[in-house]
């Protein structure tokens, strides 16, 4: 797992974005969400490993995942165009 500042995070450029890079994902987050990002990195890889065989598909590129806490609504979205990306809104339960 690699942790480094990120210029590719698709979100507010005024924030100080960091990235955790795993074998199949890049998790982009602001520093205050680091514990969530670390947990999510492990979870994403675990789910990826369980889905590859049943789906018979492995994406060519890493999936970009952006974590934000800019809303009070727990939600998210995903797209495959122009690249595989997931956006998750982190909020307290």
DSSP class per residue in 21-54: E-SSEEEEEEGGGHHHHHHHHHHHHHHHHHHHHH
pLDDT at residue number 15: 78
Residue-wise pLDDT for 6-30, tens only, equals 444 456 777 789 999 999 999 999 9
pLDDT of residue 28: 97
For residue 67, CA distances in Å to 15, 24, 28, 49, 58 come to: 12, 16, 6, 21, 23
> Any idea which of 2-11, 29-38, 54-63, 70-79 has the lowest mean pLDDT?
2-11
Share of the chain above pLDDT 70, in %: 88
| pLDDT value of position 70 | 84
């Amino acid at each position: 797992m690699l942790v480094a500042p990120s210029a590719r995070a698709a979100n507010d450029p005024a924030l100080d974005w960091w990235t955790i890079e795993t074998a199949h994902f890049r998790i982009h987050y602001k520093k205050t969400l680091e514990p969530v990002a670390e947990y999510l990195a492990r979870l994403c890889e675990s789910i990826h490993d369980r889905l590859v065989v049943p789906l018979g598909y492995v994406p060519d590129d890493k999936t970009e995942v952006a974590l934000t806490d800019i809303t009070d609504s727990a939600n998210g979205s995903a797209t495959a165009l122009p690249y595989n990306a997931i956006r998750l809104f982190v909020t307290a339960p």
